Amino acid sequence: MRTQVGIIGAGPAGLLLSHLLHLQGIDSVVLESRSREQIESTIRAGVLEPGTVDLLAEAGLGARMKAEGTVHDGFELAFGGKRRRVDLVELTGKAITVYAQHEVLKDLVAARCAADGALYFNVSGTTIDGIDSDAPSIRFQHSGAEHTLHCDFVIGCDGSQGVSRAAIPEALRQDYEKVFPFGWFGILVEAPPSSDELVYAHHDRGFALVSTRSSTVQRMYFQCDPKDSVNAWSDDRIWAEMHTRVDTEDQQVIEGRIFQKNIVGMRSFVSTKMQHGRLYLTGDAAHIVPPTGAKGLNLAVSDVRVLTAALQEFYRSGREHLLEAYSETALRRIWRAEHFSYWMTRMMHRLDGVSPFEQQLQIAELEHVTTSRSALTALAENYVGTSAV
Ligand code: PHB
């Protein structure tokens, strides 16, 4: 088998890259270890920055997103029994769109299939060879047969646990990591929206977030022990916690049938460089952000945007300067988002083990951020993604 660009991983990064390359007349093959059903049903976050929305729309992927996604002009920060609105449109001129990642994924799979794109699911035993040469290859098994995919470039879009990052020799990599001592308990609920906009709540008992998926399905989270078990949480116990952390005198969380529960750990991670020889990493394969800033998917999309332009330049003119600069270019935006996500996480969560002095500083920061126009603007710019390089 031969293609120009071999892509490992059919998450948003891998599929979007394949689709954008196709629009430029560049051939690719996507290999995925999971099944189509698995990737299309994996529940992830749902906030799309305007830049992400524009790119998806320009690539012809906007129809369902525009019809089924919801545009939010702002969100709310709740603490000390009150809610304060962050008016994104007034502060930045931009809004965000809430549209679940697995819906973006379905649109991408459909677009690749409609274009007869080569997309292999249920692939196993993937190994990468020859990235130090200009003729790298990927070996894998599919439907009981061994295959070798010869290509010009290998792109690792296979997430933090994938094989791609490990193909860059450890001695050449610098990994940076911060593991948070808390996690998020996430639920999907059959109920009308509790609020017109997302609510990020800081409370003595811990953080909580009210998000949405549609007029009938809501997504909510609350800070928990990452080692806790989903089974330890009855529906009653979950609702008691959500009410305590989020309700104000005149606004209450609306209960409904909980049909999905999960716990996710929280960490920040960056692996540099994001390239070695003919191997390039995108999205979670190279970096992780805690979900508080809603940046994960948006960062993957911006990596893909940078890499597509670099590959396009290479195939158009043979020049490699954009490819050589890929890691450095992508990392500017990534570190900005890492800082923002870390900052939001530290400001919004209950931080066990910090001194009472530091707890008071956290409240002082929330007061400042929600009352100073310049501080609010900085928050809003980061949230919509316009402060990025
Ligand atoms: C979500 O809707 O899943 C969501 C929204 C905002 C976040 C994280 C997750 O910051």
Say how many Å lie between the CA of residue 281 and the centre of ligand 1. Answer: 24
- What's the average pLDDT block by block, 10 residues per block, for the chain (389 residues)? 98 98 98 96 90 97 96 97 96 97 96 97 98 97 98 98 96 97 98 97 97 95 97 98 96 97 97 98 98 96 98 98 98 97 98 94 96 97 83
Ligand 1 centre to CA of 67 (Å) is 20
Strand pairing class (279-281; 153-156): parallel
Q: Report helix, strand or coil for 372.
A: coil
Answer yes or no: are the C-beta atoms of 11 and 105 closer than 8 Å. Answer: yes
Backbone angles phi, psi at 31, to 5 degrees: -115, 130
- Domain(s) labelled CATH 3.50.50.60 in the chain stretch across 5-70+98-176+267-346
Q: In the CATH hierarchy, which fold is given to the domain comprising 5-70+98-176+267-346?
A: FAD/NAD(P)-binding domain (3.50.50)
pLDDT at 388: 62
* Top mutation candidate among 70, 211, 217, 384 for ligand 1, by most atoms within 8 Å of CB: 211
Segments of the chain assigned to CATH 3.30.9.10: 181-266+352-384
The third-level CATH classification (topology) of the domain covering 181-266+352-384 is D-Amino Acid Oxidase; Chain A, domain 2 (3.30.9)
pTM of the model: 0.97
**383 noted as active-site residue:** yes
* Known active-site residue 50: no
pLDDT score at 42: 85
Per-residue pLDDT tens for 279-288? Answer: 999 999 999 9
The number of the ligand 1 atom at minimal distance from the alpha carbon of 219 is: 2
d(CA 171, CA 155): 20
What digits encode the pLDDT tens for the residues 346-370?
A: 999 999 999 999 999 999 999 999 9
- Tell me if 294 CB under 6 Å of ligand 1: yes
Residue 294 · residue 45 · CB < 8 Å? yes
Q: How far is CA 112 from CA 12, 34, 159, 216, in A?
A: 12, 17, 20, 30
